[in-house]
Structure 1
Amino acid sequence: MEQKTRVASWTVFYKKLAKNKAAMAGGIIVIFVAILAIIAPLIAPYEPTHIEMAKKLQGPSSEHWLGTDDKGRDILSRLLYGSRVSLTVGLLSTLLGAAVGILFGIIAGYYGKWIDSLIMRICDVLLAFPGILLALAIVSVLGASTTNVIIAVAFFAVPTFARIVRGSTLSVKKLEYIDAIRAMGSNDFRIIFKHILPNIVSPIIVQATLYIASAIITASALSFLGLGTQPPTPEWGTMLAQGRSYIAQAPHLTLFPGLVILIVVIGFNLFGDGLRDALDPKTKK
């Protein structure tokens, strides 16, 4: 019976999502880019770090579909390999930030009192700073590297997830069945992770999907400023930074990385908006 209920719920969810054409388009973009990132070593026409100075700054051609950069490296190959770095940073930073934010948010919402006040005031302080500024400060202290970018971007995600989870926890813990479970002798750990957390997954999934887009932009911005992934590792923000010196002579160096970032971010945002509508119980079936 429980399994049939779950299948019915997923069916309703898919039907609501499928009605949103923009969300489906965003989902297709996300899945397509993820597949390209996974199979990049198999489909990339050249090694992304292979230098051939005799072919530098060439425009798109049959040999190099998207042209070459200032060191003669194939731009298409670097974009394909760069998708692995950008998506990895976006996913890992979101997962890390969500994990910490969920923990703090559910503790604040469940226990309340001074614990709630302390956690929320810390979140308010962090949210007072623009995300890119906070990430810049953290990376400047830790040093420029992909790992430190993940930590910096995840750090800013924590207060956002904490506030969302806290609000959802406050709503769920007031339900009568939670009081009944507590009266039956269930401890706090069981109540939180078996009964409250599963009921607040929807807003977490939506926020995570939307935050991946922000994480990709922030990571690309840090790399553009020289504080993220370091050359010769291909990364979209780094490619933009390297191409800005040749924007008049070879505009394709910045055009294609910029378009890829734009398309991927739009894809995640469209898909995230669709998930929010599909998971909203107030939305008509």
Structure 2
Amino acid sequence: MRARREADGLSLWLALAWVAVVVAAAVLAGALPLRSYGALVPGVDARTPPGWRPEFLGTDAIGRSVLARVVHGARESLLVGIGSAALAMAAGLATGLAAGYFRRWVDTAIGVVLDAVLAVPALVLLIAVAAVGRRGTATIVLGLAVVGTPSFARLARASTLAVVDREYVAAARALGTRPGRILRRELLPEVVLRLAPFAFVFMAFAVVAEASLSFLGLGLPPPAPSWGGMINDGRPYLDGDPFLVFVPAVCVFLTVASFTVIGERARRRFDARESRLR
């Protein structure tokens, strides 16, 4: 048991460290002493393998710095992950709280809409949104938010139903408190705590989805960097120069794994808190 706790603690710290690196890369990408992600590295051949010189992570198929593109690609992945999770969580909170608190026809109407969205496969819906809208981060974030809202809403509804009949909520009703105030002051803080662990898991899904869309050519337009786009660009050279795919793929894997670990640990902490309150 002790060894397991130590392993869990180590995995959490490693996950937090990697997320901190990604956040730092996204925030400081423009200030770091890196080459331009769209410019060719002078005096260096295309597909130069990684090494201390002349380029730490090598150059891509047309001679651009892989390191610069990976660092700037972190900004895209982080914007997509956090932005889509925030939008989906906000929309899911609003609809889930309303469905769980008012119930009856409100719950039924919201449930029908959510079921209709869930009936469409997530990847198909994402491709449709990306194909119809203008290629860019905003379109990807919007599409992922639409895909994620039903899951957040169902979890918010279940969480609301779990706390709506507790004593402090009944006391607020008995005092004549308006429903809007009860939702904001009594229910929202509890439901947010229950949704927070899932938000990290959704961020992991969003990073994979963005990489998949970029791999399919529906992500950012070139020469803007994204990890999925780099994987797609390096695919024809996988046999001879695997680092062109390996470097961005490792970044995607570590980011997804880190968000998943953080979400799982947050869920355990919340479950332990709930068991103490019962």
Q: Under a length normalisation based on structure 1, what TM-score does the superposition of the two structures give?
A: 0.89
Deviation at 1:127, TM superposition (A): 2.1
Deviation at 1:52, TM superposition (A): 4.2
| Residue from 64, 72, 83 that aligns with 2:63 | 72
User: Within 1, Cα distance between the matches of 2:189 and 2:25?
Assistant: 32
User: Within 1, Cα distance between the matches of 2:33 and 2:126?
Assistant: 32
Are positions 1:39 and 2:22 aligned together? no
Deviation at 1:219, TM superposition (A): 0.9
Are positions 1:23 and 2:16 aligned together? no
Going from structure 1 to structure 2, the CA distance change for 1:19 and 1:38 (only over 3 Å counts) comes to same
After superposition, the CA RMSD in angstroms is: 2.1
Going from structure 1 to structure 2, the CA distance change for 1:89 and 1:23 (only over 3 Å counts) comes to same
Question: Comparing both chains, which one has the higher relative contact order based on Cα–Cα distances under 8 Å and sequence gaps of 6 or more?
Answer: 1
User: Within 2, Cα distance between the matches of 1:266 and 1:140?
Assistant: 29
Give the match's secondary structure for 1:42: coil
Q: How does 1:102-181 map to 2 (within 5 A)?
A: 102-181=93-172
Maintained 8 Å contact 1:44/1:76? no
| Residue from 197, 204, 207 that aligns with 1:213 | 204
Q: Which amino acid aligns with 1:58?
A: T
| Residue from 37, 62, 84 that aligns with 1:93 | 84
User: Within 2, Cα distance between the matches of 1:264 and 1:211?
Assistant: 12
Give the match's secondary structure for 1:48: coil
Give the match's secondary structure for 1:41: coil
The unaligned stretches of length 5 or more in structure 1 are 1-15
Deviation at 1:17, TM superposition (A): 11
Maintained 8 Å contact 1:81/1:234? yes
Deviation at 1:18, TM superposition (A): 10
Going from structure 1 to structure 2, the CA distance change for 1:283 and 1:188 (only over 3 Å counts) comes to closer
Deviation at 1:42, TM superposition (A): 3.0
Q: Which amino acid aligns with 2:23?
A: A
Are positions 1:197 and 2:199 aligned together? no
The unaligned stretches of length 5 or more in structure 2 are none
Residue 245 (structure 2) aligns with: 254
Give the match's secondary structure for 1:51: coil
Residue 57 (structure 1) aligns with: 47
Q: How many residues align?
A: 270
What CA deviation, in whole Å up to 9, does each residue of 1:5-34 have, x standing for no partner? Answer: xxxxxxxxxxx9996332232222212221
Q: Which amino acid aligns with 1:23?
A: L
Q: Which amino acid aligns with 1:117?
A: T
Give the match's secondary structure for 2:182: helix
Give the match's secondary structure for 1:89: helix
Give the match's secondary structure for 1:94: helix
| Residue from 265, 270, 273 that aligns with 1:279 | 270
Maintained 8 Å contact 1:165/1:204? yes
Going from structure 1 to structure 2, the CA distance change for 1:71 and 1:148 (only over 3 Å counts) comes to same
Q: Under a length normalisation based on structure 2, what TM-score does the superposition of the two structures give?
A: 0.91
What CA deviation, in whole Å up to 9, does each residue of 1:33-54 have, x standing for no partner? Answer: 2122222223353111112485
Going from structure 1 to structure 2, the CA distance change for 1:18 and 1:170 (only over 3 Å counts) comes to farther
Q: Which amino acid aligns with 2:47?
A: L
Range that drifts further, 53-62 or 189-198: 53-62
Deviation at 1:149, TM superposition (A): 0.7
Deviation at 1:170, TM superposition (A): 0.9
What CA deviation, in whole Å up to 9, does each residue of 1:136-170 have, x standing for no partner? Answer: 12212224222111110111110010000001111
Q: Which amino acid aligns with 1:27?
A: L
What CA deviation, in whole Å up to 9, does each residue of 1:63-107 have, x standing for no partner? Answer: 111110111101011000110111011111111111111101101
User: Within 2, Cα distance between the matches of 1:188 and 1:198?
Assistant: 15
User: Within 2, Cα distance between the matches of 1:146 and 1:41?
Assistant: 18
Maintained 8 Å contact 2:41/2:65? no
Deviation at 1:283, TM superposition (A): 5.9
Q: Which amino acid aligns with 1:235?
A: S
